[in-house]
């Protein structure tokens, strides 16, 4: 091993450790805090309406951030922006803590902070996504995305559990302190990054950059098609997992809350397993070439959601139904990883750095708009029709989308390319 290779490996290991440490501490801390905050709001108000209103209002700034902030991120120093976001979050948390000690039951305070935190974290998320190619070599990006996806799945499992335990074990104010510490640790880890700066100087006006972003999407058909697929998949999967699954398990199959939690955890376990597969260098190219075949299989997996209800209607024991449904969801989560990770990676590599955060902002905006529409439509389907129709519609949409993608020569060739530095 020569000196250059040794230095590159040292840089990779340092960036990897700092990146994953920062993400684990920051995202786990935020997940714990958000879950504890939701319990605190319910304890104070006892109102599901006020609770849902605060949560929904807190999400609104993210839509505007994702539309406009990406351009500013692309024009700036992403490392400094990440550090600034974490430091600003820590300062806001300190102010929140001091204010909370005096007016701990203020709904206005909780609502304002929810908006502020959501706004900062949206900027931070865009910056992290667009910074990965600046921190790692191109041939390492898919592994990093796999690790990041696995971290997210672990956080989704542990965050609510730890948040619930800590909320009842210690005072809410101490959870705020934990959140402050995680933001500080995350900022310190980001300061240690060896960051490859953008050598492109962007002197365009903001309005010109805005037009360039949407001009790029309309001009690059592969990127436009890929964004369309991402939009359709999220339009189906967000309401499928957040509305249909809980209703299906809790109301139709009459599972306990513990059993339903186990089902949802099985999806996250599948996501982790899929992320491990996607991180294996030897099979990454094969996964990419078969990405739309996996999406077709995902459509079939959705249709298999009908099996548990058939078993339930034939008086099969609850444990058999639970294990069957859990297995189906685990496989679904696995496919979710090995589809999403290559899509994310190829977007990061294919999109020019000077508009990368902006493109990701467009993706997030589309998802944020599509998700509530999808949730609303699925609610109507559940109320007005048989819930099985919702499952069938979901599976058919994914099958049609994946089949069209499989027959698109440009899309197949795009994912058949090797990612090389």
For residue 421, the model assigns a pLDDT of: 53
Give the model confidence (pLDDT) of 279-314 as tens digits. 887 777 777 788 888 899 999 999 998 887 777 666
The full 3-state SS of 152-164, as one line of letters, equals HHHHHHHHHHHHH
Low-confidence ranges of the chain (pLDDT < 70): 1-8, 46-60, 197-210, 250-251, 255-258, 312-316, 418-421
Select from 16, 20, 176, 215 the least CA-distant residue to 89. Answer: 176
Give pLDDT, residue 194: 79
Contacts of 249 (CB under 8 A, 6+ apart): 255, 259, 260, 263, 325
Distance (Å, rounded) from C-alpha 28 to C-alpha 182? 8
Tens-digit pLDDT profile for residues 132-189? 888 888 878 888 888 888 888 888 778 877 888 888 888 888 988 999 999 999 999 9
Cβ atoms of 226 and 411 within 8 Å: the answer is yes
Can you give the pLDDT at residue 51? Answer: 61
Contact in structure between 197 and 134 (CB atoms under 8 Å): yes
C-alpha to C-alpha distance for 255 and 179, rounded to whole angstroms: 34
> Which tokens is 222 given?
């592969």
Are the C-beta atoms of residues 359 and 217 closer than 8 Å to each other? Answer: yes
Proportion of the chain in helix, strand, coil states, percent, rounded to 5: 85, 0, 15
pTM of the model: 0.74
Give one word for 220, left, alpha or beta, with left for phi > 0 and alpha for psi -120 to 50: beta
**For residue 163, what pLDDT is reported?**
82
Q: Coil, helix or strand for 150?
A: helix
| Residue 72 pLDDT | 78
């Amino acid at each position: 091993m020569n000196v250059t290779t040794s230095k590159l490996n040292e840089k990779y290991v340092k960036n990897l450790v700092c990146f994953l440490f920062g993400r684990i501490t920051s995202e786990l801390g935020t997940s714990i805090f958000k879950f504890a905050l939701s319990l605190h709001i319910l304890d104070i108000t006892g109102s599901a309406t006020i609770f849902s209103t605060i949560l929904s209002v807190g999400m609104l700034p993210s839509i505007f951030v994702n539309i406009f902030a990406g351009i500013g991120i692309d024009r700036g120093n992403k490392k400094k922006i990440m550090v600034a976001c974490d430091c600003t979050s820590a300062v806001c948390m300190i102010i929140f803590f001091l204010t909370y000690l005096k007016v701990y039951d203020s709904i206005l305070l909780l609502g304002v902070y929810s908006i502020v935190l959501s706004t900062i974290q949206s900027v931070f998320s865009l910056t992290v996504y667009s910074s990965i190619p600046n921190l790692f070599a191109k041939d390492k990006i898919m592994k990093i995305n796999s690790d990041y996806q696995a971290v997210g799945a672990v956080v989704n499992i542990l965050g609510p559990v730890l948040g619930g335990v800590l909320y009842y074990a210690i005072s809410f104010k101490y959870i705020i302190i934990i959140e402050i510490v995680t933001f500080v640790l995350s900022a310190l880890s980001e300061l240690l990054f060896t960051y490859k700066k953008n050598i492109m100087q962007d002197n365009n006006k903001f309005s010109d950059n805005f037009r360039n972003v949407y001009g790029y999407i309309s001009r690059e058909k592969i990127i436009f098609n890929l964004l369309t697929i991402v939009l359709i998949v999220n339009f189906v999967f967000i309401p499928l997992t957040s509305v249909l699954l809980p209703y299906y398990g809790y109301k139709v199959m009459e599972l306990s809350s513990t059993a339903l939690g186990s089902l949802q955890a099985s999806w996250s376990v599948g996501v982790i397993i899929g992320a491990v597969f996607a991180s294996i260098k030897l099979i990454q190219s094969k996964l990419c070439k078969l990405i739309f075949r996996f999406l077709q299989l995902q459509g079939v997996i959705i249709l298999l959601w009908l099996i548990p209800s058939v078993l339930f209607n034939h008086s099969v024991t609850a444990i058999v139904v639970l294990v069957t449904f859990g297995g189906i969801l685990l496989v679904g989560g696995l496919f979710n990883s090995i589809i999403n990770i290559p899509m994310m990676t190829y977007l990061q590599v294919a999109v020019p750095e000077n508009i990368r955060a902006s493109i990701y902002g467009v993706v997030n905006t589309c998802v944020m708009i599509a998700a509530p529409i999808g949730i609303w439509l699925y609610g109507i389907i559940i109320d007005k029709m048989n819930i099985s129709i919702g499952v069938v519609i979901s599976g058919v949409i994914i099958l049609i989308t994946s089949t069209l993608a499989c027959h698109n020569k440009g899309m197949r060739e795009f994912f058949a390319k090797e990612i090389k530095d």
